[in-house]
Amino acid sequence: MDKKLNKKAVRAGVITAGTTLMLLMSSPAFAVTRDDGDDPGSGLSVVQTLGLFVLAPIVLFAIIAGVVMATDKTRKQQQERA
């Protein structure tokens, strides 16, 4: 029983250490120096950001859900007729 618990503890420690290391390696501190050919554009306004990252996904979800619901109703109607 202790060996299984020890293995789980070691595994959890390794996962935690690996995750921490990956987070530290991908920190934004490495973005301080610019790369050759790096040409960032102007930033987005609050309205543009909300539209792009909030409104657009909601609209796409609604469109996809509507198409799925419409095709599902069509199948049900065809099955009722048969």
* Within a domain: 7: yes
Range of the structural domain that residue 11 is part of? 2-27+45-81
Nearest CA to 79 among 37, 30, 71? 71
In the predicted structure, residue 49 carries a pLDDT above the cut 80: yes
Helix (H, G, I), strand (E, B) or coil at 27: coil
Secondary structure letter of residue 10 according to DSSP: H
In the predicted structure, residue 69 carries a pLDDT above the cut 70: yes
* Within a domain: 51: yes
* Within a domain: 37: no
In the predicted structure, residue 1 carries a pLDDT above the cut 80: no
Count structural domains, the chain: 1
* Residues 52, 44 contacting (CB under 8 angstroms): yes
In the predicted structure, residue 51 carries a pLDDT above the cut 60: yes
* Within a domain: 17: yes
* Within a domain: 61: yes
CA distance linking residue 79 with residue 73, whole number of Å: 10
The token pair that represents 79 in the structure block: 């099955």
